[in-house]
Structure 1
């Protein structure tokens, strides 16, 4: 069996998550993307009138989703690729050691695994019959403003700095390939206005959305940064640039 291409560097992926946790200790640290994902999971469970009894929550370093599920009487295990905030370490590209969950919620991690089809299969296999998987992560179309700014910064030699992302159609195909029943793939946009490039980059880093490619581009340098600042100002309206964070959510059941 052929191995999937190594687009993402595992050590950089874990470093980005650890850096995000450090940045979260700063005043007014951004976590609106994870907050959105947590709220969405709870809304979906409410819509299908499901109260899980045994749940696995992956990637929610705020602890908000686990706390809400526990308040409903669920047994909750928290996991994270980097083992953040006391969560168990989970390698999403390997079979899960723990199984028989009636809910697996993965937040903000699956966009940077090298074997996404395999990761989804492992999630389905870890569900109990009748269990549901809900996974939200960065989707195609995210960060168009920052992409354009970095292209301007690189000038005549554009470098790979931001990783490829999955769109809604590809997400649906992945769910079917992984064997989920009643698969659903949908996306939504979170739009945020920024007064500065530093603010935009700061929010991206603080929420763990920074690049983790195996082969990353060279340092921007002073001249490149100056071009980036000009590109930011050119996109601004009323002194602010609107950035778009696309969140892709995949869900499916094990029958």
Structure 2
């Protein structure tokens, strides 16, 4: 784990806190400064992971990991750590020594809205009907209908003002996204274009409309999370002016022998 100056760690803390508010887990427990987030109704890793929030909090790792594992087992979720720059290097070394898998590296990116090229963006009013948005989102993702209740509950639990954006053609959803306005920040989540409609500019148009909505509401900075392996999305965000702030990844223990 690389060292990070205090200024950068302060920025990481700000985005991590905004992410927790924008994507709220159903249950949050703390073991020291490890935030243990669990959500029975939705399988997303961000909602079902241990998030260490202080680089110096690395005492009794094995004992605390075992306690977290019991919580995850009770929810039927695989024990998963989300490792940001706020996690201490000793914790990453412990994972390595124990043979834990590292996967799904992601970037947190930001864009000052004063620099966003939104002059020609379409004025789009966010949907008010959560049910309609959830239907569109699941269809665009090609996700199972069993996620409907969990996604609806998740969106309903978001406390900051939220814009639910959907682009449709003849009643069929093409792209969807969630825009969470939290003080000066606006977070962009679940930015998805239907597989059959990609590379046609739908995602760009929807993003620009959402950024315009956010700037009109007084937000000063947009941010988002994207998997490092998602090259098309990265290319889109970079073309809009987003730049990397920091990265995080996930860790899971090796399977039990004989499992």
TM-score, with structure 1 as normaliser: 0.30
State the TM-score, normalizing by the size of structure 2: 0.30
Higher normalized strand content (fraction of residues): 2
